[in-house]
Amino acid sequence: MSLHKEIRFEDEICAHLAANGWLYDGAAGDRHDRTRALYVEDLVAWVQDSQPEAWDGLSRANGAAAAQVLADRVRKSLDERGVLDVLRNGVELVGARGRIQMAQFKPAMGMNPEIVRRYEANRLRVARQVKYAVGNENCLDLVLYLNGLPVATAELKSDFTQSVEDAINQYRFDREPRPKGGREEPLLAFPGGALVHFAVSNSEVAMTTKLQGRDTFFLPFNKGDHGGKGNPLNPNGHRTAYLWEEIWARDSWLEILGRYMVTKRDAKKRITSVVFPRYHQLDATRKLAAQVLAEGAGGKFLIQHSAGSGKTNSIAWSAHILSELHDAADNKLFSSVIVVSDRNVIDTQLQEALFDFQRTAGVVATIKSESGSKSGQLAEALAAGKKVIVCTIQTFPFALEAVREQAATQGKAFAVIADEAHSSQTGEAAGKLKQMLSDAEIAELADGGEIDFETQLTANMAGRAASDKSITYVAFTATPKAKTLQLFGRPDADGLPAPFHVYSMRQAIEEGFILDVLKNYTPYSLAFKLANDGQEWDEREVERDTALKGIMRWVRLHPYNIAQKVQIVVEHYRENVQPLLDGKAKAMVVLGSRQEAVRWSVAINAYIRKMGYPLGTLVAFSGEVNDDELGAVSETSAALNPGLNGRDIRDAFKAENFHFLLVANKFQTGFDQPLLCGMYVDRRLAGIQAVQTLSRLNRAHPGKDTTYILDFCNSAEDILTAFRTYYETAELEAATDPNLIYDLRAKLDAAGHYDDHEIERVVRVELDPKAKQGDLIAALEPVADRLVKAFAAAKQAWVTAKAQDDERAAAEALDHMNALDLFKGDMAAFQRLYSFLSQIFDYGNTEIEKRSIFFRRLLPLLEFGRERPGVDLSGLRLTHHALKTKGQQDLLYGTGEAPKLSGMAEVGSGGLHEKEKARLDEIIAKLNDLFEGEITEENCTSSEVLRQPGCGFSGGLASSGFDI
């Protein structure tokens, strides 16, 4: 029996293709023209069938030599211009009466009878055991031709005897495009040879578009197997049958050659590479186009593609395909496609790709902030009928407003493709954006934090997306939030929003496109002991939570604590990270606040100077920090970054003399530096922030196979939980209840701070096109003035009661202040909730919309000016400090059910609660029990303290947090 042999595998593939529109005969391989790498009889037949007048002209000019003249001209054109350009744009030669087309691809529209005839005349051929070599009898298992031009080769291996790796090695070691001492092999040479080379086994496929001997790099071309690498079981035969049954199917293959493959050129316009889509890119864009055609405009799509998935190309293909989409009646579906991305290369790549497809320049417009009026640029681009318009997340609101207006007034439809990469906003957020932020996010923003792409996108779409019936939204993200899933997801079998298409983090890791950053993860624990420096603590009770936060901040900023961590970081880097990548590996230090970043910068540079190490650092944060020693400093200050010299920090960090990048609320997302191999974390991370931050390390780079993480703040369990959520497909635990908005409305109404008449007055003014700003002020100020004065009175009562030591009156006044604070917070929560849910549900309730308008205008006027009581820690002293490693760990993802994302909980459900209070000495004493026995005199921070045993309070903090 020979069923297990490679030749039977070959038989099966050829038989399938022969039965499905491909030309095939067993002896075709012998008729391959080795010197020209052409199947000449198909080339001639194609021209004769599709362009008979051109063939007649060639025959009259060249007689019996017409076929040879044509073949020589085609080969010369292939060598000079590459196969893709010749296929798409044809060749010219004397006697042909114009350009001879080498193929007919389907146009976006207008399939007239002549084009249909020529499309059907395309000659796709498979030949087996093709003797291709000029100087020997080497054979390729399969060669695929289009109209006589070679477009693909394949080496097959049966899993019964060999593997796909053997096929890859056969290409790398036995299929040299230029053998030593021999002539160039035209079939294998770049760019005039076959466009793509496949290594195929029964279970896996790999491909490359450029053979370079042993340096040839193959990419997996597999479907993925339940979230991992490889291919799923095929009940009907080979796991890889999709290659010849789907990819090489006649229409599919012609579409790939005509619409997907792209040539990359250098500054001198020389071809440097050819891009062939990976399976998930092809699958996602084709399914997207099919679904949009089936539904028409107005749908939403979430593409969850991991880092390393090639999102730039996927976005470019999506934009190109959607911009060309026509319905069955040949009507163009979208007037323009808006691409929202901060990728520096996206507009260039789109421009080059579209030119490659159509030889048409200027079809892509880019809206830039520095080029004058954004609305003017958009109007110009839309009026000019630009197929694709690229803008940043900052200019997106202008684009969205423009397309919504045209959709409403001119009946046009648009597609919006939003890209998560490199999109964050710092500083003062726009009012619409602030409505979408939680209190924690607003607090982080105040410390220079960044607002992620998904929050910005959601804010810009607020309140209108449910009625955007003429705008199709496509969002690309590796780590969707629960809100993003609900806004862009499509119902799964359980009715919960789910991604439209997934290329998982797991598959990207297993296929080698990104690194697994949890391979070398080392958590640390911190324990410490505090003394009172001989002073008596205040007998007054303080708020427990406030005191604990103050103590932790005090410890984190303590010079001894920072110095100990700095030593660990620098020495670990020198020993483990710096030797990687031939000494070019870099590291990032992630810190909890801008003030910590400044203190760390001073400390790490002092240690490096003391040790005489040739290491350079940069520190990055937004805005300005008031430091006790340095004064007011920013990241551009010479005191912090003397080597910056006016450069952007991203660019400066590429230089070889910089090794550490210290960051606080900056560059934790959207920062691509493939040389990053080490990360040192001194900041609490959870959920999506943990995944996005640690994933700065996962970018692939030649020779990069190892990363290191040292974590001073988080537990291995918490980090692993965060990653498991996004390891395969992000899932939603439950959708947000749309009735939450009614519950919150009832709570706000019951507070009694406004009445229906006051709401109606504000709404009438807001909706009156003739109203003046004074009318709005007059409508709002009675309510705002009443609330502000009520808070001021309560605050004064609290101050008076505290001065008179009247604890009961102080508590009552504080409760009144807290109630007004809670009311204001509930209004903000209502705005966040309604802005989000109104994008998903059509409430059709004017009372809800009226309150949204009323609260939106009232909130900015409620400046209560509250001062939070602090805790005096001036007598605190750090006497003992122990920083202990828990050992390097390889965190395993496991096979259990991954944690799911939670929808919005009961927003605004908070009430007034008595703050838990205690004396400061009691709070510190409670720390004693956390790590009993962890602290010894060896952990003493100074010899002076050793002479004062028992004077301090001991306690500790686990890396996973603490609870008292």
Q: What is the DSSP letter of 177?
A: S
DSSP 556-575: HH-HHHHHHHHHHHHHHIII
What is the pLDDT at residue 779? 92
Q: Which of 516, 484, 894 shows the shortest CA–CA distance to 695? A: 516
Ranges of beta strands (E only) in 266-423 are 271-275, 300-305, 336-340, 364-366, 388-391, 414-419
Q: 3-class secondary structure for 648-660? A: CHHHHCCCCCCCE
Alpha helices in 189-278 (DSSP H): 241-242, 250-255
DSSP 766-778: HH-TT--HHHHHH
Rounded distance, CA 648 to CA 652, Å? 6
Q: What pLDDT band is residue 958 in, cutting at 50, 70 and 90?
A: very low
What is the pLDDT at residue 951? 35
Distance of CA 684 to the CA centre of its chain: 22
Whether the predicted pLDDT of 910 surpasses 50: yes
CA angle 638, 642, 647 (to 5 degrees): 100
What residues contact residue 337 under an 8 Å CB cut-off, 6+ apart?
Answer: 319, 322, 323, 387, 388, 389, 414, 415, 416, 417
Whether the predicted pLDDT of 954 surpasses 60: no
pLDDT tens digits, one per residue of 62-109 = 999 999 999 999 999 999 999 999 999 999 998 887 899 999 998 877
Q: What pLDDT band is residue 897 in, cutting at 50, 70 and 90?
A: confident
First vs last C-alpha separation in the chain? 74
What is the pLDDT at residue 767? 87
Whether the predicted pLDDT of 273 surpasses 50: yes
The region of weakest confidence among 90-99, 387-396, 705-714 is: 387-396
Hey, which of 200-209, 398-407, 794-803, 905-914 has the most confident mean pLDDT?
200-209
Rounded distance, CA 748 to CA 753, Å? 8
Cβ–Cβ under 8 Å, residues 425 and 433: yes
Whether the predicted pLDDT of 487 surpasses 70: yes
Residue with tokens 């390891």: 727
Residue 828 exposure: Cα atoms within 13 Å on the Cβ side: 22
| Strand pairing report for 149-157 and 139-146 | antiparallel
Whether the predicted pLDDT of 238 surpasses 80: yes
What is the pLDDT at residue 782? 92
Q: What pLDDT band is residue 404 in, cutting at 50, 70 and 90?
A: confident
Per the prediction, the chain carries an average pLDDT of: 84
More confident residue, 225 or 843: 225
Rounded distance, CA 736 to CA 739, Å? 9
What residues contact residue 242 under an 8 Å CB cut-off, 6+ apart?
Answer: 223, 231
The region of weakest confidence among 136-145, 609-618, 666-675 is: 666-675
Rounded distance, CA 273 to CA 162, Å? 30
Cβ–Cβ under 8 Å, residues 600 and 619: yes
Cβ–Cβ under 8 Å, residues 955 and 931: yes
Q: Do 277-427+455-502 and 519-535+553-723 have matching folds? A: yes
Rounded distance, CA 125 to CA 698, Å? 42
Taking 3-state DSSP, the helix, strand and coil percentages for the chain, each rounded to the nearest 5, stand at 45, 20, 40
Alpha helices in 324-395 (DSSP H): 346-358, 374-383
Q: What is the DSSP letter of 576?
A: I
Residue 271 exposure: Cα atoms within 13 Å on the Cβ side: 22
Amino acid 845 reads N
What is the pLDDT at residue 429? 35
Rounded distance, CA 497 to CA 294, Å? 20
Distance of CA 921 to the CA centre of its chain: 47
Rounded distance, CA 872 to CA 532, Å? 12
Cβ–Cβ under 8 Å, residues 205 and 199: yes
Whether the predicted pLDDT of 863 surpasses 90: no
Rounded distance, CA 840 to CA 634, Å? 41
What is the pLDDT at residue 945? 37
% of the chain at pLDDT higher than 70: 83
What residues contact residue 163 under an 8 Å CB cut-off, 6+ apart?
Answer: 157, 201, 204
pLDDT tens digits, one per residue of 314-352 = 998 999 999 999 988 888 999 999 988 766 556 666 666
Rounded distance, CA 405 to CA 180, Å? 64
Alpha helices in 768-873 (DSSP H): 773-803, 807-837, 846-858
The first and second tokens of residue 254, run together, are 């012609």
Bridge partners, 323 (sequence order): none
**How many CB atoms within 10 Å of residue 715?**
16
Interval 418-431 mean pLDDT: 47
Whether the predicted pLDDT of 433 surpasses 60: no
**How many CB atoms within 10 Å of residue 751?**
13
Q: Which of 367, 369, 388 shows the shortest CA–CA distance to 378? A: 367
Whether the predicted pLDDT of 949 surpasses 50: no
Rounded distance, CA 30 to CA 131, Å? 7
| Strand pairing report for 497-498 and 490-491 | antiparallel
Q: Which of 669, 528, 514 shows the shortest CA–CA distance to 590? A: 669
Residue with tokens 């001065």: 803
Rounded distance, CA 584 to CA 654, Å? 10
Residue 782 exposure: Cα atoms within 13 Å on the Cβ side: 11
What is the pLDDT at residue 950? 34
% of the chain at pLDDT higher than 90: 50
Whether the predicted pLDDT of 939 surpasses 90: no
Q: Which of 294, 209, 271, 238 shows the shortest CA–CA distance to 79? A: 271
Amino acid 313 reads N
Question: What is the total residue count of the chain?
Answer: 964
Rounded distance, CA 118 to CA 109, Å? 15
Cβ–Cβ under 8 Å, residues 167 and 182: no
Hey, which of 456-470, 815-829, 905-919 has the most confident mean pLDDT?
815-829
Interval 419-440 mean pLDDT: 46
Amino acid 901 reads L
What is the pLDDT at residue 371? 56
Please state the φ and ψ torsions of residue 590, each to the nearest 5 degrees: -100, 120
Q: Which CATH architecture has domain 519-535+553-723?
A: 3-Layer(aba) Sandwich (3.40)
Q: What pLDDT band is residue 535 in, cutting at 50, 70 and 90?
A: low
Residue with tokens 């939570």: 545
Whether the predicted pLDDT of 754 surpasses 90: yes
Rounded distance, CA 35 to CA 75, Å? 9
What is the pLDDT at residue 600? 95
Rounded distance, CA 457 to CA 397, Å? 9
The first and second tokens of residue 361, run together, are 């320049």
The first and second tokens of residue 753, run together, are 């701070």
Alpha helices in 728-771 (DSSP H): 740-750, 756-767
Cβ–Cβ under 8 Å, residues 667 and 676: no
The highest-level CATH class for domain 277-427+455-502 is alpha beta
DSSP 481-495: -HHHHHHH-EE-TTS
More confident residue, 181 or 390: 390
Q: Is 732 helix (H, G, I), strand (E, B) or coil?
A: strand
Q: Is 15 helix (H, G, I), strand (E, B) or coil?
A: helix
Domain ranges of the chain: 4-270, 277-427+455-502, 519-535+553-723, 737-859
Please state the φ and ψ torsions of residue 103, each to the nearest 5 degrees: -165, 160
The first and second tokens of residue 140, run together, are 């390729």
**How many CB atoms within 10 Å of residue 106?**
14
